[in-house]
Structure 1
């Protein structure tokens, strides 16, 4: 072969080798990165299925505030287990403390006036000669005693009101549970109206799964039916469920699309089951796939063969 033809031939050969290497490498990479898809091993011959969301057995308690104010302290942390009555967070109470000082002083002043009026009345009553003090004077002194006693009660009521207002500035846990969310920080203002929950509390000693079954399959769901939940992301992890109740109302199921207005995809029957959270690594709010044992459809030969 002439030298003038050798260089082009080598160039063509090099391009061919490079292309072959790319093709074979791509095939090998595709083969090595292709993951097998796992499907749940449903233990029932016939079933209905639907998505289920994990909830606390008490329901998620959105803790609010009975009064508006500025947060001065948050007394709990995420995941903390609290008993009913445990302080959760505190609001600024310095304005009430400033009012409490003069209100307490007024109580002492009213009590002193009442003691003085009572003493004057007792002195008049102890006079041996009843003619020395007129009946009108006695009536006036008795009325003065009654007025001063009422003044004491009024001043004390104001003190009690301020103390109750101060107690409201410390928000307590309404029930035993775990702190699931904390959406406030010291220095932030809170209002007494609805909105984002300040804290989210739930009893997680036993968890619920709220399964949404399409209304077309609702007639196949029987109270007390067996059910199994599979963990999304790893269908090898599953848990048999304990039946709790069926909510006897078909409700819309919203599909989150990210739009300003969400659309309703379908209507569903909600079936609630429960399980021991110590046996399954899940969190409140997590989605699972729930399969509920149901009667086989007429003509379902596959279900009959699995029996």
Structure 2
């Protein structure tokens, strides 16, 4: 029994040794290494910036930064003055538009009704003014009639004065009775009262005429009607402007970059977190470069710069200096790197992409390499430099 167990153990040991030798032989025969996989996106590579003597600059003499492609006009955030339902959208993303070309229109039924009402008010104001002016000939005739009545009553008054004077020279009872003297005195008093009444009517007629007469200045009533007419015209102009503003138009020749509204949706007036439309002039394109505050002393306005498209590092963008934004601001466009601080302040520099460079899109991030200065320029006034460039 013991001999059989020893034989079985020897057989297992021999079998294990043979399997081990076969495995080693198989591994040595298939020692073909797997090919290295290429990265899905080619990492950016430093660009050698040539100086005047065609020598490439060392890596330490370049400023590395991130640039954001933007329109040369910057992004124009399109909104609306009035809130309302979108009735029609006239453009699509990528379309080229001219200045004052309609972009979209809001529902205008209420604005059209208000305009019709204001035009009716204007017509009524014009009619009231015409009616007031039409009364002038009649009022002039009333003045003439009142003046005639004054003249007639003055004559009666003069007649009464003569009669009373004649009676006062006669002896009562001999040549004239007392009754006749009293009658003549009463006639004079009646004539005087009629004359005063006629003069009052003449004053009223002249006052009524002066309210509407425009021969010696604008009368008060005409001035009121003219003011009402002017107010009605202003109301019509305001209603026309409100109706016109229901159609939003392009502020300048540009391209439609983004459309964020559809017919039937409600468009909110005012500044929105997401603009209703985004426009921009894409010929040429600009790159807004964020230079870290630690690299600002090494930057000189107008320095040579070139860009590298992410994913195609071998494609270079030729850049021409445009301007420096003189205000250093807090960094907003973060790249997501762990070493990046959110409290970093940056200097923004704008370069123009030369025609013929590889195609890029608005909002695309590119890697920027800028030639730095060993000796910083003593003239660090970026504002005056931009002024000289203009």
Call closer, same or farther: CA 1:140–1:269 in 2, change over 3 Å. closer
Aligned partners of 1:87 and 1:170 also within 8 Å = yes
* Matched pairs, number: 287
Q: Does 1:157 align with 2:163?
A: no
Q: Does 1:281 align with 2:365?
A: no
Q: Could you list the per-position Cα deviations for residues 114-142 of structure 1 after superposition, in whole angstroms to 9, with x for gaps in the alignment?
A: 22221121343367936266213323555
Out of 336, 342, 351, the position equivalent to 1:264 is: 342
Q: CA deviation at 1:234?
A: 0.3
From the two aligned structures, give the one with the greater strand fraction: 1
Q: Does 1:213 align with 2:285?
A: no
How far apart, CA to CA, are the structure 1 residues paired with 2:120 and 2:136?
Answer: 25
Q: Alignment partner of 2:370: what SS?
A: strand
Aligned partners of 1:106 and 1:155 also within 8 Å = yes
Out of 34, 37, 47, the position equivalent to 1:33 is: 37
Q: Does 1:200 align with 2:293?
A: no
Q: What's the TM-score, normalizing by structure 2?
A: 0.64
Q: Does 1:68 align with 2:83?
A: yes
Call closer, same or farther: CA 1:250–1:104 in 2, change over 3 Å. closer
Q: CA deviation at 1:53?
A: 0.7
Call closer, same or farther: CA 1:223–1:249 in 2, change over 3 Å. same
Q: Alignment partner of 1:282: what SS?
A: coil
Q: What's the TM-score, normalizing by structure 1?
A: 0.79
Call closer, same or farther: CA 1:136–1:276 in 2, change over 3 Å. same
Q: Does 1:82 align with 2:97?
A: yes
1:224 corresponds in structure 2 to: 302
Out of 108, 112, 125, the position equivalent to 1:97 is: 112
Structure with higher Rg: it is: 2
Q: CA deviation at 1:238?
A: 0.4
Alignment of 1:133-144 (within 5 A): 134-142=205-213, 143-144=220-221
Call closer, same or farther: CA 1:225–1:42 in 2, change over 3 Å. same
Out of 306, 320, 325, the position equivalent to 1:242 is: 320
Aligned CA RMSD, in angstroms, stands at: 3.6
Structure 1: 5+ residue stretches without partners: 298-307
Aligned partners of 1:40 and 1:236 also within 8 Å = no
Q: Alignment partner of 2:103: what SS?
A: strand
Q: Alignment partner of 2:361: what SS?
A: coil
Aligned partners of 1:204 and 1:277 also within 8 Å = no
Q: CA deviation at 1:20?
A: 5.5
How far apart, CA to CA, are the structure 2 residues paired with 1:216 and 1:150?
Answer: 66
Structure 2: 5+ residue stretches without partners: 1-10, 50-55, 149-201, 214-219, 376-390
How far apart, CA to CA, are the structure 2 residues paired with 1:49 and 1:191?
Answer: 41
Out of 29, 46, 49, the position equivalent to 2:64 is: 49
Aligned partners of 1:78 and 1:182 also within 8 Å = yes
Q: CA deviation at 1:163?
A: 0.9
Q: Could you list the per-position Cα deviations for residues 125-178 of structure 1 after superposition, in whole angstroms to 9, with x for gaps in the alignment?
A: 367936266213323555444433333333332222211111111112122211
How far apart, CA to CA, are the structure 1 residues paired with 2:266 and 2:369?
Answer: 45
Q: CA deviation at 1:266?
A: 2.5
